[in-house]
């Protein structure tokens, strides 16, 4: 049976706990993260992922999707909490919060948990620092049917509120793994897998490159790109021609361009 309660004060310990999930240190300690908005939580439910705690604003407008979400959380034995919209604003850090948020358990992000043969392409990002770019790459992975996103070295936290929001629900549909470079390359070379880098080091035009599944498409840090040693370890280096004055694309955009081209070539 679901636990239900109503929070009426800003000083309630639960409010402090929920606010703490906006901080990476506390997310890691608790193993939980926060997602806000009916669309995000509905996408999670569609992927058979339910929040452990459903937080709703009192006085919210009724909605059939919210009713279905509440019923699913209750049936699963989750906790349902109601609070004034002003208190919810403190939790989310937004002046105009959406009427619902959820607390989820963080996923298993060990690279050993991935099945490389689950999809023809995978996205890989090294030292990606912008949570918006990270969320966009998750959305791209969902759009192209990629297996997931592998984060290499010190990337933005995929469970931050900003990255979760930017993923538009794809964090619930895509596998996610985090690893240091040595761990990743060791795992990759233990079986099949082509590593392709967006690079300017003796590259092939991305439109004529010979992609092979499972294909791991890697982009580097937004400002510095990939370390030279990482590029040298790749099976294939590709470049996207620049027709204007810009000398490069945004990292997430480059990943999307490569993903669609690689998918088209592998399916063609």
Residues 97 and 119 in one domain: no
CATH no. for residue 239? 3.40.1280.10
Q: Which of 44, 71, 105 is the last residue of a domain?
A: 105
Q: What rounded mean pLDDT belongs to the chain?
A: 92
Q: How many domains does the chain have?
A: 2
Taking only the tens place, the pLDDT of each residue in 42-53 is 999 999 999 999
Lowest mean pLDDT of 94-98, 120-124, 153-157, name the range.
94-98
Q: Is the pLDDT of residue 94 over 90?
A: no
**Alpha carbon distances (Å) from 38 to 65, 93, 177, 179:** 8, 17, 26, 31
Q: Is the pLDDT of residue 195 over 80?
A: yes
Helix (H) or strand (E) holding 5: strand 3-7
- Provide the pLDDT for residue 247: 58
CB 203 within 8 A of CB 237: yes
Distance CA 114, CA 142 (A): 16
- Provide the pLDDT for residue 261: 94
Residues 14 and 143 in one domain: no
Residues 8 and 59 in one domain: yes
- Provide the pLDDT for residue 244: 67
Q: What is the mean pLDDT of residues 22-50?
A: 94
Residues 123 and 17 in one domain: no
Residues 119 and 36 in one domain: no
Residues 32 and 156 in one domain: no
Residues 123 and 254 in one domain: yes
Q: What is the mean pLDDT of residues 187-213?
A: 92
CATH no. for residue 76? 3.30.1330.30
Residues 263 and 242 in one domain: yes
Taking only the tens place, the pLDDT of each residue in 215-238 is 999 999 988 889 999 999 999 999
CB 215 within 8 A of CB 150: no
- Provide the pLDDT for residue 248: 64
Q: Is the pLDDT of residue 9 over 70?
A: yes
pTM of the model: 0.91
Residues 136 and 30 in one domain: no
Q: pLDDT class for 83, splitting at 50, 70, 90? A: very high
- Provide the pLDDT for residue 249: 67
Residues 195 and 78 in one domain: no
User: Which phi and psi (to 5°) does residue 3 adopt?
Assistant: -90, 130
Q: Is the pLDDT of residue 246 over 80?
A: no
Cβ-based neighbours of 115, under 8 Å, separated by 6 or more: 147
Q: pLDDT class for 19, splitting at 50, 70, 90? A: very high
Distance CA 26, CA 29 (A): 5
Domain that holds residue 64: 3-105
Distance CA 30, CA 50 (A): 17
- Provide the pLDDT for residue 2: 67
**Proportion of the chain above pLDDT 70, given as a percent:** 96
Q: pLDDT class for 12, splitting at 50, 70, 90? A: very high
Q: Is the pLDDT of residue 112 over 90?
A: yes
CB 148 within 8 A of CB 113: no
Distance CA 88, CA 80 (A): 14
Q: Tell whether the torsion through CA atoms of 157, 82, 66 and 104 is positive or negative.
A: positive
- Provide the pLDDT for residue 116: 96
Residues 128 and 232 in one domain: yes
Q: Which of 79, 105, 131 is the last residue of a domain?
A: 105
Q: Which of 105, 137, 160 is the last residue of a domain?
A: 105
Which residue has better confidence, 89 or 45?
A: 45
Distance CA 52, CA 80 (A): 9
Residues 88 and 198 in one domain: no
Taking only the tens place, the pLDDT of each residue in 159-191 is 999 999 999 999 999 999 999 999 999 999 999
Question: Rounded to a whole number, what is the largest CA-CA distance in the chain?
Answer: 62
């Amino acid at each position: 049976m679901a636990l239900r309660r109503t929070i009426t004060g800003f000083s309630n310990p639960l409010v402090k706990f929920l606010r703490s999930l906006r901080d990476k240190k506390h997310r890691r300690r608790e193993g939980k993260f926060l997602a806000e908005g009916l669309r995000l939580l509905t996408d999670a439910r569609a992927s058979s992922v339910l929040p452990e705690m459903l937080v709703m604003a009192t006085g919210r407008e009724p909605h059939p999707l919210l009713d279905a979400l509440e019923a699913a959380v209750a049936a699963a034995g989750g906790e349902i909490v109601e609070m004034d919209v002003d208190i919810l604003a403190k939790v989310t850090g937004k002046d105009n919060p959406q009427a619902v948020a959820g607390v989820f358990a963080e996923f298993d992000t060990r690279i050993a948990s991935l099945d490389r043969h689950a999809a023809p392409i995978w996205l890989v990002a090294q030292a990606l620092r912008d949570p918006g770019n990270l969320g966009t790459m998750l959305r791209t992975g969902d759009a192209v049917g990629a297996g997931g996103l592998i984060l290499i070295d010190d990337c933005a936290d995929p469970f931050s509120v900003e990255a979760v929001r930017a993923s538009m629900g794809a964090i619930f549909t895509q596998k996610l793994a985090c690893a240091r470079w040595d761990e990743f390359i060791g795992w990759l070379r233990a079986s099949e897998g082509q590593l392709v880098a967006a690079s300017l080091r003796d590259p092939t035009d991305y439109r004529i490159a010979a992609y092979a599944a499972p294909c791991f498409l890697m982009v580097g840090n937004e400002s510095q790109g990939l370390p030279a040693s990482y590029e040298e370890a790749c099976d294939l280096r590709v470049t996207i021609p620049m027709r204007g004055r810009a000398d490069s694309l945004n990292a997430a955009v480059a990943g999307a361009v490569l993903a669609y081209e690689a998918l088209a070539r592998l399916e063609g």
